[in-house]
A and B are shown apart, each in its own frame.
Chain A
Amino acid sequence: MEYTLREMMTVVAAREIKNDDIVFCGTGISMLAAMAAKSINAPDCVIFFETGAIDAALEEIPMAVADSRVMYHTASSGGLLDAFATMQNPTTGQKVIGILGAAQIDIFGNLNSTVIGDYFSPKTRFSGSGGGCDVASFVPRSMIFMQHEKRKFVKTLDYLTSPGHLDGPDGRRKAGLPAGGPELVITNMAVMRFDDTTKEMYLDGVYPGIEPEAVLEQMQFSVDISRAREVMPPSADELNILRDKCDPQRLIL
């Protein structure tokens, strides 16, 4: 079955979600991945939003984390204080997996969603942190969605909005952050993970028909490609669920 790269990205993310995960979602493709996971491989996972909604029944895809669609049939309707406390709760917080996106990423998975250019006179301004910095600071595991482009995989971020592994293996501890940080980066070409020892990004998988070298060409920094394997494409079942059940209006796909 034919599939788009956005569909591939969504399915790859959905497969990472386990049945006992509490999935923290942002706006866009991450919501679709969480909805897909609930229908495909992790029916009992709990979706939650920084706006305070826990375990909403997502019958339609929300356009923002404050969309009324996240308020329907929740287990609890709180606010931002509750949501960020859940991420830091010594028991429930350990089950949270964050899904983030950004304009720039570096080799340690630090993210920029604030500005391109000088912070004080930016060339391009983005939305800013929102809850991104909070999630990246608190949760033990996170995955990141990125478009694979040279201007996005940068040697040095223009602004560090959300901490990944900071400057390496000991970065988070030195800064005073809890352990954790990004586990994987899902792009429109490949899946990258972070080395256990160096905390540097490496190429874990490429999508069918994509050469590892082509992935490197779309990055300002070099990563280890020796561990790369081919990622399994979405199955017909996965695609049907995604298209017919999760996003029939094609709002995200």
Chain B
Amino acid sequence: MSKLVKDKVMPLKKAVGAYVHDGCHMAIGGFTINRNPMAAVYTIIRAGIKDLHLYVHSNGQGVDELIGAGSVSKVEIAYGGSGKFAATCIRFRKAIEKGTLQVEDYSNYQMTLRFLAGAMGVPFLPTRSSLGSDIVDKWGFSENLRRSDPKLPNRKLTVLDNPFEDWGNTEKVVLVPAITPDVTLLHVQQADRAGNCRMDGLSFADVEQAKASRHLVVTCEELMEGDALHENAHHNQIPFIHVDAVVHVPFGAYPTACYQHYDYDPVYLKAYAVAARDDEKYKDYLDTYVYGVADHQALIERIGTERMESIKADPRTGYAANLDRR
């Protein structure tokens, strides 16, 4: 389907089926415990998709659930953590310590620049970040892997003398390679049927991730009818020309937060962290909350109105003021 089509609304299963495949290179948006595309993540897990090559900067819940369910074989990442709930993502950590996950470590800014390079159509962008560190010296992906996958650059990164000599008071730069995922998944507050997107609060690196990608699937809290988003268009961050599928999924970031709509669910995230530490309990978690529900709406129903009410965003602050987060 052309990205210029004006109505891209479809069910989530159909969007995931069309754009996410075994072994594909995928990026997800959000940051640690906020605006992860969780409905899409759970749909991927339920579909049994395997061997994903995942790109993220600082992700928490989304990354950990995809890894925990065995959907990911390789990840390029800056940070895997869920704030106070899991200082290091627990299944992510287990997978690396067991050697079942291949990892390439970058910094947040480097990952963001890599997505931007992909969006710009340049092979790399420069930074000074990480000079002198092991991020430069230690490469997680083998030369063989890099050679065998035409979607991967031949090097993790390259340090170069400033070709403009001392211009910019800089002697050396680190060049980080562009990322062009097969598909990126984002959750936003508002989208229209064509795929114009409006995010409230912080956009993290979602815009760069969106524009770097060959395909883009957007889930949204609110599906805006007609040309409503053409009003005050300066509040839109992603125009429809980048978008392949629009899916209306209220609470689509749950159990992570969605600014102005709902907070993260401390009860869910704490229980998840307990389950994730133990293989048997984790299996039960997946059986109950992921495989045991038909779709995201069914998960929200299982959680129940009382809990969902407790994380409802206060209209003044955009989060659930005085939520018990202990």
Q: Which A residues lie at the B interface, using CB under 8 A?
A: 27-28, 50-53, 59-60, 62-73, 77-81, 84, 88, 114, 119-134, 137-138, 159-163, 166, 171-172, 174-178, 249-251
Q: Which of B96, B317, B321 contacts A125 (CB 8 A)?
A: B96
User: Is there contact, CB below 8 Å, between B108 and A67?
Assistant: no
CB nearest to A81 among chain B residues: B112
- Residues on A with beta carbons closer than 8 Å to the beta carbon of B78: 128-131
Known contacts A66-B83, A161-B133, A162-B133, then 15 further A-B pairs from the complex at CB < 8 Å, ordered by chain A residue: A62-B83, A63-B264, A71-B318, A80-B109, A81-B205, A123-B97, A125-B88, A130-B58, A134-B110, A159-B134, A163-B133, A175-B172, A178-B169, A251-B325, A251-B326
Q: Which of A62, A63, A121, A134 contacts B108 (CB 8 A)?
A: A134
CB distance from B153 to the nearest CB of A (A): 19
- Residues on B with beta carbons closer than 8 Å to the beta carbon of A129: 78-79, 105-108, 130, 135
User: Is there contact, CB below 8 Å, between A160 and B134?
Assistant: yes
Top 6 closest pairs, chain A to chain B, by CB: A64-B83, A176-B172, A175-B132, A130-B79, A71-B201, A66-B31
14 contacts across the A-B interface (CB closer than 8 A)? A63-B83, A68-B263, A71-B318, A79-B204, A120-B138, A128-B78, A128-B80, A128-B105, A130-B107, A131-B107, A134-B130, A163-B133, A171-B132, A177-B128
- Residues on B with beta carbons closer than 8 Å to the beta carbon of A80: 57, 108-109, 112, 204-205
* Chain B contact residues, majority secondary structure: loop
CA distance A27 to B85 in the complex (A): 11
A130-B107, A137-B128, A178-B128 known; A72 and B202 CB under 8 Å? no
Asked if B33 is an interface residue, CB under 8 A from chain A, the answer is yes
Most buried by A among B79, B82, B109, B135: B109
User: Is there contact, CB below 8 Å, between A132 and B107?
Assistant: yes
- Residues on A with beta carbons closer than 8 Å to the beta carbon of B87: 27, 126-127
CB distance from A153 to the nearest CB of B (A): 19
Q: Which of A52, A66, A119, A122 contacts B58 (CB 8 A)?
A: A66
User: Is there contact, CB below 8 Å, between A161 and B134?
Assistant: yes
A-B interface contact total, Cβ < 8 Å:
215
User: Is there contact, CB below 8 Å, between B132 and A177?
Assistant: yes
User: Is there contact, CB below 8 Å, between B208 and A81?
Assistant: yes
CB distance from A181 to the nearest CB of B (A): 11
- Residues on A with beta carbons closer than 8 Å to the beta carbon of B205: 79-81
User: Is there contact, CB below 8 Å, between A79 and B128?
Assistant: no
User: Is there contact, CB below 8 Å, between A77 and B201?
Assistant: yes
- Residues on A with beta carbons closer than 8 Å to the beta carbon of B180: none
Asked if B99 is an interface residue, CB under 8 A from chain A, the answer is yes
CB distance from A126 to the nearest CB of B (A): 5
Q: Which of B79, B107, B321 contacts A60 (CB 8 A)?
A: B321
CB nearest to B261 among chain A residues: A68
User: Is there contact, CB below 8 Å, between A133 and B130?
Assistant: yes
- Residues on B with beta carbons closer than 8 Å to the beta carbon of A162: 133
Asked if B294 is an interface residue, CB under 8 A from chain A, the answer is no
User: Is there contact, CB below 8 Å, between B108 and A137?
Assistant: no
User: Is there contact, CB below 8 Å, between B97 and A122?
Assistant: yes
Interface positions, chain B 138-189, Cβ under 8 Å from A, are 138, 140, 159, 169-173
CA distance A73 to B316 in the complex (A): 9
User: Is there contact, CB below 8 Å, between A66 and B33?
Assistant: yes
Asked if B42 is an interface residue, CB under 8 A from chain A, the answer is no
- Residues on B with beta carbons closer than 8 Å to the beta carbon of A249: 324-326
- Residues on A with beta carbons closer than 8 Å to the beta carbon of B263: 68
User: Is there contact, CB below 8 Å, between A134 and B134?
Assistant: no
Q: Which of A63, A114, A128, A171 contacts B84 (CB 8 A)?
A: A63
Asked if B207 is an interface residue, CB under 8 A from chain A, the answer is yes
Asked if B236 is an interface residue, CB under 8 A from chain A, the answer is no
CB nearest to A176 among chain B residues: B172
- Residues on A with beta carbons closer than 8 Å to the beta carbon of B116: 81
Asked if B77 is an interface residue, CB under 8 A from chain A, the answer is yes
CB nearest to B96 among chain A residues: A125
A66-B31, A130-B78 known; A79 and B203 CB under 8 Å? yes
CA distance A250 to B110 in the complex (A): 34
Q: B111-138 toward A: CB 8 Å interface, digit per residue (1/0)?
A: 0110010000000000011111111001
- Residues on B with beta carbons closer than 8 Å to the beta carbon of A132: 107
- Residues on A with beta carbons closer than 8 Å to the beta carbon of B105: 114, 128-129
- Residues on B with beta carbons closer than 8 Å to the beta carbon of A72: 317-319
A59-B321, A251-B325 known; A27 and B96 CB under 8 Å? no
